[in-house]
Amino acid sequence: MKDFLKYTFASLLGNLLGLALMVTMGVGGLIFLVMAAATQDSGPQVKDKSVLVFDLSLNITDADPEYNTSELFQKALAEDSLNQIKLRTILEGLEKASQDDRIVGLYLKGTSNPTSTGLANSTEVRQALEKFKESGKPIIAYDLDWTEPEYYLASVANTIVVNPLGSVEMNGLSSEIMFLTGALEKFGIGVQVTRVGKYKSAVEPFLLKQMSSENREQTQKLLDDIWGKYITTVSPSRQLNASQLQQIADGQGILMAPEAVKSKLVDKVAHFDEVIVDLKKLTGEPEDEDKMFRQISINSYAKMPEVIKVNRGDVNSKNKIGIIYAEGSIVDGEGVGDQIGGDSLAKKLRKLRMDNEVKAVVLRVNSPGGSATASEIIGREVELLQAQKPVIVSMGNFAASGGYWISMAASQILAEANTITGSIGVFGVLFNIQDIANENGVTWDVVKTGRYANINTVSRPKTPEELARIQKVVDAIYERFLTKVSESRDLPKSKVVEIAQGRVWSGVQAEKIGLVDQIGGIQDAIAAAAEQAKLEDDWKLEEYPEGETFEQQILETFIGGESTQASSTLDPITLEFLKLREELAQLKALNDPRGIYTRLPFNLQID
């Protein structure tokens, strides 16, 4: 209940604190904060024979969201932003640590809370862990209970440890969808839908009370692809084969500590204090001293200047490879926080196109889609950019529907095997509040000069004629989507019609059917950009947006950078509340001027 209240009131307190900060301190006070931050120590220091600590509870994102002051305070109060790190920060930190003589090993610290790190990002991190292991430095992983997302990374470790009362989850993947139809009916909120594509299931939570056969079919295929990749990746690290892991998933699912050792999923059973003793052996510290082992967190290590320079190319070069991030739901206008604003991203792409020093661009897409109008605006800028310089798309966890729309014009598209992409389809969702309003004594009347003058009203359901007009627009946008995929990917229109229909595909399947060019991560995309621009080694990397915002610097000053507080386990009520909050938050992103969207199912979540 404590966590439930924390998340409930964080938004209100964030806005009040943001306002109080501006009112009480004024411009002079804010300048003082920035100057104070600038005079702090030079940064983290790495002591000789230190262990790098990677907290698996970290939420690994592509980029830092651009929040305003009140939103930053909300995140801090809810402890959302304190547990976040960028993907390239992790990759660069692990690569540098593998070569750093001061780092003697890596400790993977398990978590009690489910991580929201996506499947594709985890794949890139796992590959970086494997490279670290190849350096000869040991990796030790410990947790009370190993969940499958954590274990995917921990399986690389030389030694996997579980608590004596702990367990290991190896029960396969599932996707549970929340349907809101009954609630909407109960509260008198009407929903009408226009769509194209029999697999376009984004509207099902508002219309049905269970999955359609088409949605069940595509979701099953997607889970089978992702799970198959999971067990074929993990099994060799544990000297098992994929069929053995499948037998464990079917026959046991959750293994207590002794069973996990017997099944070769973990190497030993121990308490945390015993793990500390093992880590002290690496650092050469006395085992009997009552203190922690010599360590540095990956968050702090990544802030060191020599780590920041990793994979940044030649800093003296005048040739730039730009990385621009498209992460979140695609919305019309500027967008806020973790949204992709059609106008704001188009403006950034235009700036890169007009910068003669930028020779190639990597567009990192991690989006389930959203506004069809905003997707078209962004997609047009990608086309114009690609006509002047190479554009390489690196697909993250999602690059589907509108996320695919903004990707398809690129010179080359890379995706991870477990990236979720495709979903080439269009829908419109139209809410009305007639019933709930009438039940509470509210009615409307209207005067108009044309049959369709108030077609956008929410005071009543759409008439059949109005629905037909809206469906015609949806059909036209879908036809444009199909045509542009055919032209951009050099595929016959008939083939695109076959693989579209709103169906989602894994990265593996997307490569087979021609929606992506190859399997690879963001580092591969950077290499491809340099190759296509014929830069060889004469380039430097620049990320857009660059660095932290002014407001983020203020927040970091207040919270003191890194948090040392142990994360608490969220209770079931809070977890369900957060799921519902996430569902409802998606509705705020429905701001397309025509009410038409190219988007994945709102609540596609794989556990």
Q: How far apart are CA 457 and CA 466, in angstroms?
A: 11
Neighbours of 159 (CB within 10 A): 16
Q: How far apart are CA 358 and CA 314, in angstroms?
A: 14
End-to-end CA distance of the chain: 24
Q: What's the token pair of residue 414? A: 């890379």
Q: Which residues are catalytic?
A: 200, 401
How are beta strands 518-519 and 412-415 bridged, if at all?
parallel
Q: Which residues contact 444 (CB under 8 A, 6 or more apart)?
A: 437, 457, 459, 460
Q: How far apart are CA 590 and CA 472, in angstroms?
A: 20
Q: What's the token pair of residue 98? A: 């593998």
- Whether the CB-CB separation of 65 and 120 falls below 8 Å is answered with no
- Whether the CB-CB separation of 121 and 155 falls below 8 Å is answered with no
**Residue 460: Cβ-neighbour burial (10 angstroms; 0-12, 13-18, 19+):** middle
- Whether the CB-CB separation of 414 and 511 falls below 8 Å is answered with no
Q: Which residues contact 118 (CB under 8 A, 6 or more apart)?
A: 60, 366, 396, 397, 398
**Residue type (1 letter), 11:** S
Please give the backbone phi and psi of residue 332, each rounded to the nearest 5 degrees, phi first: -75, 145
Lookup result for tokens 């052996």? 281
- Whether the CB-CB separation of 384 and 417 falls below 8 Å is answered with no
Neighbours of 442 (CB within 10 A): 11
- Whether the CB-CB separation of 374 and 402 falls below 8 Å is answered with yes
Q: What's the token pair of residue 505? A: 């595909």
- Whether the CB-CB separation of 436 and 185 falls below 8 Å is answered with no
Closest CA to 302 of 484, 43, 80, 559: 43
